[in-house]
Every structure is written in structure tokens, then in C-alpha cells.
Structure 1
């Protein structure tokens, strides 16, 4: 006999646990179903090598997370601690120089000024514009329901900051960076920062950016944070809140089908034959193809929605990470030039010129290991 809940959530990553906690706090009977043994999804922290060396294999840092409404609503700061790195991006060079982007604008301007005073003043002006956009546009949109493009643009055009944003996004990021900055290494660092918000670099910087990626090279008011003790601690905190709210976590629960009756999702079936009924909703936190093609079935979808599912595309490449267990923290080339380089969160290494950077990304796009053509043994 099927177990009945008000709501069923597939997947126990952060999205599933957040939604589940809010629904449980409203008094609904909610179950989160997880295929694996442990909750958390991409919020994973493991100890695969020497004892005491913990690694985050996927979710390494979290953007502006302690300011998120749900983080505050769920009082996660009481049990989940974050640090905010002062130095976010760094770029060492073989000649012993380096560039460092700090959350402090004056430190960043001083670092850029070591290689180009003109570029430093350019960054000062664009940082002022970008921080205003980040605070008034990006953060507001991040926590609001998406708007249709025409309505969004009409609302943005009503304020000076909004109009500035609309003007900036008409530029291709690559053209903008090359137009603004004279020093190639400054251009390189700005493009590296921008590339983290896109896909293959060439695609992300040679097209217009309606969502505003061009602005991301300059804003400092919001940035990355790192969970103390590993990213899984955020999952732990969310799971605690979910259970405290009355939610039920069920592991080893691999969903094989979302049951649809009369155009409405009414429950799920598991691969082991168990069934769960949902009075009010079924929510899936797994990807679009698995949810709608494998679990729901395209034949159950309206024609217009079926087209959207068919047109959905995954990113064509994946990140390759190297995890090291080191006795001491790395000491980078360029530390004598700027000691802050040894304390940054993200490093652009392996590319000394724009040609190097685009060449590495082109190799990724072609399915080759980047840098392999230059390797000498």
C-alpha cells in the first residue's frame, strides 16, 4: 500500500532540503527521497586520502550565501559557519609579477596600478558602476521570480542604474575588456573572472550578455564564501532544519517513475516497487532530461513544454579538479611582488597571454586535454 504525503521531493541536495523545510514549516507532511545513502547532493565533503585531509569534490565555494534570504530564514548561521576570503582571484606570472583581486576595491586598484595606472583608474570607475548594478539588479533578481524579457527591460529602464545595466549588456564582454584595458595581463585576469560565469570562454565572451556577465568582471560587493569544515556542513545544517520542521528523509529511494493522473503529478514509484502518493505536489531537483524524459515521460507533456525539454542542452564540457594533500600551503611565483597572492581563493595559472588562454579553451572545446600539445617529457 502506498504511503501518502502532502508533498514529495526527489533529491536531497540543497534545493530539495530548502523547499522541504519551507513546506514542512507550513505544516505539510513532506518526504525527501534520496537514491544514495547520504543527503546533500553536490554538497559533498570526503576524506579519500590521508587522514585529516578533507576535499569538496564538487561544490567548493558558495556565492554570497550568508546573505541569501533562505539562509537567514532558516537561521543556518547558528550552526553553519562561513568564511569570506579577502582575496578572491590571483594571477601569478613567470617573470615574478602578479595581480590580485581583493574584496577591498582600493587593494585591487593598487594591484592593477602596479602594471598600469590607467587600467587601475578604469577599474575604479567600472567597479563603482558594477557594485551598484550588483546590489540593485543582480541580488534583487536572484531572490525574485523571473520576469519576461520585455517587462524586465522596461522596469530596468526606469532607473539610472537600470539604464546603465542595459547599456553595458549590449557589449560583448571580450570587446569590452579589450576596449577598456591596455595591459594584456589585466585583460587576462578580467576574462578569467568572467569565464567562471560562462561556458567555454570563447562562447561566453564573444556574445552579448543579457544576464549581465560582462558586469561580473568588475563587481566586488558580493563574492564567494567557503563553508568551514567543508561544503557538506551546509547540507548537514539544512538536513537538521528539515527534520526539526517535521520532514521525513528517506534514503535508498531510487525513483523510477513520476505518476501522472489527469495532467497532474500524484506520486512516485521506486525501482524496488515501493509507491508514494502526493496530495498536493511532487517536486524534482534532478536534471531536466531525467525528470521529464525518464520519470514523467514526454508523452505526458503538453506540446509546447515538450519542445522546451527537447531544446534543453547540457554544458558541453565539465570541470577537471586536482585535489592535493600538502604539508604546507603553496607559495606562488609573484609573492615577493604581492604577498597577498598566497592567500587567494581562485588562481589563473598556465596562461601568460590572451593567446594562451583562448588556446587552452579551444582545446577543451575540441575534446582535447588542455595544454597536452605543449607538454614535453
Structure 2
């Protein structure tokens, strides 16, 4: 049997394509297989509502990618255009109050000072702390993670190590109560922890909130003109220019072989494609282990551990085509922001959301992230019209109750539209008074819809596994797979289910490529 492809990459999202590009640059013959009709994975842009209205279905902000070496090493920046809003994000409250984070830090400080002068100075200090650690943080993201014993030894060896370890484990509520005085400022940080699924009382939430806020203050919250799919299209073009091939509309059913070696991949059509040297998986790590490999290849112990892999909370998304631009109750700064967090000014607000969600109830007032798509990128909607996206964080995948009092359905197919109606009314009443009257068409995606559309968005989650202290670094997704390797020597992982986790950074793809290069005896530095 001939082996026409040295490497087969499963999944044409940004991480799969990134890894494929580096392998192709080294001279390997690479094939990428994608179940969807186009490349993109979690960076797909489509006309989801009406013709001419281009929505990012999942990822919207070009944030961590601002720190990534990948666009420079692969020459991608000439292939797409970045739009850099002056206000990366704002946080709006029901009474019309707002905190805006500006690219210019002193303007952010002035905004926060309206709530607390002490917190304004603390913000400056926290951002300076990030600047001092920025190079080290960036290097850690774009390198394979140290082992758990090595990481623990690093904490122990540093005079400030144990305090850093404490911060890495601290909850938002614990840290915020010790560090900040205004509820509005505490809420600002708490909202960012929610992006990665951390409630105010979950361990590890404080550092996540600080990192996310610092990244946007430091590098901005850019949008890709025309949509995030331009990034993955640029990667696909680079891959093809180096001899790589991409097949879409094909789904991998099984990786064939034994515990010593993968020999082929079988598609749902029955076609079998021989593996020359290696397989790289950009799919959800649970899907890889439980479905594509199975106990016969990785062993029952690995299967049991992956069955315990935690995913946490699902999301609900609404895409809204509008007859004209909307007006926020909080004023023009909100519409000038790349996105706006919509919540009450209280950490207890988040605690209530998580209590309801994790109890199986549809939250009565969830955290909503309002993306101002066409206000920032006018190419996303026809002239004079507008386009927005509302990402509702922390909803249950299995509905067992309803905290709204308005949604009787207990399956998402029954509950999707009534819940979307409720949320539009909530947003209109509290944050955007003219929203409902300006809607031309609304399309809602429940967690079930999201998982149906993209198989790697298991249970309608966005990060291929919860970001927990015991599921990050070399422990992500589980310790045995924490270095982008599986027990099968020629099968690797490169998805956001590996370090450093979710977000469009392209880091897992690049890090996996470094590991593969080392195993093949190739010099990664020679091709970057």
C-alpha cells in the first residue's frame, strides 16, 4: 500500500491549519481533512441572517493572535486586514452606567476613576505588572508546557513563586475583595473570568480575569475586516502554496492501527487513506480518544480519564440583522467598542447565573457579550443597515428548569426561540432600547445547534474542555496527553484542548509542530 501523504491533519480550524503549514514548510506532504463545507472550524464567517450580513459564527476578536509569532512567521498579515477599535471593550450596566477600556491606558484610568480612584490606580499597577511579565507569558503560551513537577519546582525556586501560585489558584471574589473596592470594577474582571467558564467562586478565576483584561488593554481587541474566516483562509492559502492539500465535506470515522502505530484514517464514506508518517488531530480531545482511537489503541485507563474530562457551561448565540444602527442606553462609547459586556454591577450577579445554569435552569439574566460587528467593520452589513452578535455565556446543555418563567420547553429545539425572545426583551429593556424595533431577522443557535454544526464544539462549548487548574498547562487535556502526544507514537494533538487552551492564538498548532519536529529530528528554527 502506497503512502502518498506524510502527515494527515484532522480538522481545518486555525490550529490544524497552523500545524499543517509548518509541516508543509519542512517538506512533508500534508493532507488536511475537514467535515464542514469550508475551512475555519471555530473561525467561520457566513451570511447567517440575510444576504450581505456577514457574521462570525464563533470567534470574533483578534486578541491573543496579536501576541502570536505565527502571522509573522507564515507571512499572513498581507492576506487580511485588521481593524483596531479605539475602545477594545466596554462594560455596560442596566442603569446606563458604563466602564470603557481604551487603547490609551490613561483614558481607561479616568473611566474607572468615576467609580473609584483607588481602583483606577490599581488598574494602572495591574497593567504595569502585565507589561513586566508580558515576554514570559508570551513565551510560555507559544512553547510546549513544562511538566507539572517542573512547574511546581519553578514556583518553589522563586522568592515570589508561592504568591504567584496562590494568585493562579485564587477565585475572582477572593482576589477582587482584597484588591478592589467598587463593585463595578470587580464586575469588570469577573466578566472576563466568565469568558473561560469561571464563576466568581471557582478556583483560578482571578488570574484568568487579569490576563484577559490585560491582553485587551495592551494589544487591543481587533476585528478582521470581512470576518475571522479571513485568517483561516490565509492559512489555507499558505498551506496550499507549500504543496499541502485540503479536502472539505469529509468526516473521519476512525483512525486505524494499533497501540504502536496509526496506519490509516477511515472516512464515513468508507474510504481509507494510508498514513505515511503521522496523524495530527485538531478535533476535540474527547472525540479523538473515545471515538477515533478507542481503548484498543490508547488503553482503557486513558479512555476512563477522558470520560471524566470536564467541559462545563454551554453558550447560546443570537445573530441579529438590523434595519439601522442601534443606540445603547450607556451612550456612544458602547457602540464604538468592539464588544460590550452586559450585566448587573455585582459579582453576586455572576454567582446567580452559575447557580441557575449548573442546576440545569435557563438563567433569568445571563451575562451577554454584545458584538458591534458592523459598527466596527462596515463591510459586514449592507449600507445603512447593521449587524450584531449576542453571545450568552453559561447556559445548560441539558435543560431541567427555567428561571425566566417564560420558557416551558425542556429540550433546546423547543426552548431556543422562546428563550431568544426573552433575551431580546431583556436586552431591549435594560441595555439597547431600540433593539427590538430594528430587527430585520434574528437567528439563534442553541448549544445543541452549535454542536451539530461543528463537532468539536461538544455540548455547545467553545473551548474544547473547561479551563480548570487541573486541565491546563501540561495537564491539558489530561496529563498523559499534555505534551501534544497520544500513547500511539505517531498520533498527535494540536487543538485548543491542549496548552495554552482556547482563543485564536494559533499556539496549540505551532506548539504541536515543535514537538513533531523534535520527534522527526527536524530543526523548527530553520523554517521560521
Q: By how many angstroms is 1:4 displaced? A: 2.8
Paired residues of 2:8 and 2:278 also in contact (CA < 8 A): yes
Paired residues of 1:7 and 1:29 also in contact (CA < 8 A): yes
Q: By how many angstroms is 1:67 displaced? A: 3.4
User: 1:341 and 2:341 equivalent?
Assistant: no
Residue 224 of structure 1: SS of its match in structure 2? coil
Q: By how many angstroms is 1:209 displaced? A: 5.6
What is the TM-score with the length of structure 1 in the denominator? 0.88
What CA distance in whole angstroms lies between the structure 1 residues aligned with 2:184 and 2:209? 18
Paired residues of 1:13 and 1:41 also in contact (CA < 8 A): yes
Q: By how many angstroms is 1:16 displaced? A: 1.6
> Structure 1 residues 218 and 300 mapped into 2: Cα distance closer, same or farther (>3 Å)?
closer
> Structure 1 residues 334 and 262 mapped into 2: Cα distance closer, same or farther (>3 Å)?
closer
Residue 276 of structure 2: SS of its match in structure 1? strand
1:112-261 matches, cutoff 5 A: 112-133=112-133, 135-155=134-154, 165-166=164-165, 168-196=167-195, 198-202=196-200, 205-208=201-204, 212-216=207-211, 219=214, 220-261=217-258
* Equivalent residue, structure 2, for 1:373: 404
Paired residues of 2:169 and 2:203 also in contact (CA < 8 A): no
Q: By how many angstroms is 1:78 displaced? A: 0.7
Paired residues of 1:200 and 1:365 also in contact (CA < 8 A): no
Structure 2's unaligned 5+ residue stretches are 365-402, 407-421, 426-528
1:42-57 matches, cutoff 5 A: 42-57=42-57
Residue 275 of structure 2: SS of its match in structure 1? strand
* Equivalent residue, structure 2, for 1:358: 351
* Equivalent residue, structure 2, for 1:269: 266
What CA distance in whole angstroms lies between the structure 1 residues aligned with 2:8 and 2:47? 32
Residue 32 of structure 2: SS of its match in structure 1? strand
Paired residues of 2:98 and 2:330 also in contact (CA < 8 A): yes
What CA distance in whole angstroms lies between the structure 1 residues aligned with 2:330 and 2:52? 30
> Structure 1 residues 355 and 66 mapped into 2: Cα distance closer, same or farther (>3 Å)?
closer
What CA distance in whole angstroms lies between the structure 1 residues aligned with 2:170 and 2:198? 18
What CA distance in whole angstroms lies between the structure 2 residues aligned with 1:351 and 1:253? 45
* Equivalent residue, structure 2, for 1:10: 10
Residue 45 of structure 2: SS of its match in structure 1? coil
**CA offsets per residue over residues 206-241 of structure 1, 9 Å max, x none?**
31469x325326523244332110111112111111
> Structure 1 residues 286 and 331 mapped into 2: Cα distance closer, same or farther (>3 Å)?
same
> Structure 1 residues 94 and 27 mapped into 2: Cα distance closer, same or farther (>3 Å)?
closer
Residue among 316, 319, 330 paired with 1:320: 316
User: 1:332 and 2:325 equivalent?
Assistant: no
What CA distance in whole angstroms lies between the structure 2 residues aligned with 1:35 and 1:215? 36
Q: By how many angstroms is 1:115 displaced? A: 1.7
What CA distance in whole angstroms lies between the structure 2 residues aligned with 1:233 and 1:223? 19
Paired residues of 2:32 and 2:247 also in contact (CA < 8 A): yes
When the two chains are superposed, the root-mean-square deviation of aligned CA atoms in Å is 2.6
What CA distance in whole angstroms lies between the structure 2 residues aligned with 1:275 and 1:218? 46
> Structure 1 residues 330 and 260 mapped into 2: Cα distance closer, same or farther (>3 Å)?
same
Q: By how many angstroms is 1:200 displaced? A: 4.8
* Equivalent residue, structure 1, for 2:288: 291
Paired residues of 1:99 and 1:341 also in contact (CA < 8 A): no
Q: By how many angstroms is 1:148 displaced? A: 1.7
What is the TM-score with the length of structure 2 in the denominator? 0.64
What CA distance in whole angstroms lies between the structure 2 residues aligned with 1:94 and 1:263? 58
What CA distance in whole angstroms lies between the structure 1 residues aligned with 2:60 and 2:252? 28
Runs of 4+, deviation exceeding 6 Å: 157-164, 374-377
What CA distance in whole angstroms lies between the structure 2 residues aligned with 1:333 and 1:162? 45
What CA distance in whole angstroms lies between the structure 1 residues aligned with 2:158 and 2:244? 43
Q: By how many angstroms is 1:76 displaced? A: 0.3
> Structure 1 residues 271 and 177 mapped into 2: Cα distance closer, same or farther (>3 Å)?
same
1:27-38 matches, cutoff 5 A: 27-38=27-38
Comparing 104-113 with 301-310, greater Cα deviation is found at 301-310
Q: By how many angstroms is 1:195 displaced? A: 1.8
What CA distance in whole angstroms lies between the structure 1 residues aligned with 2:42 and 2:223? 14
What CA distance in whole angstroms lies between the structure 1 residues aligned with 2:348 and 2:154? 40
Higher relative contact order (CA 8 A, sep 6+): 1
What CA distance in whole angstroms lies between the structure 2 residues aligned with 1:132 and 1:157? 20
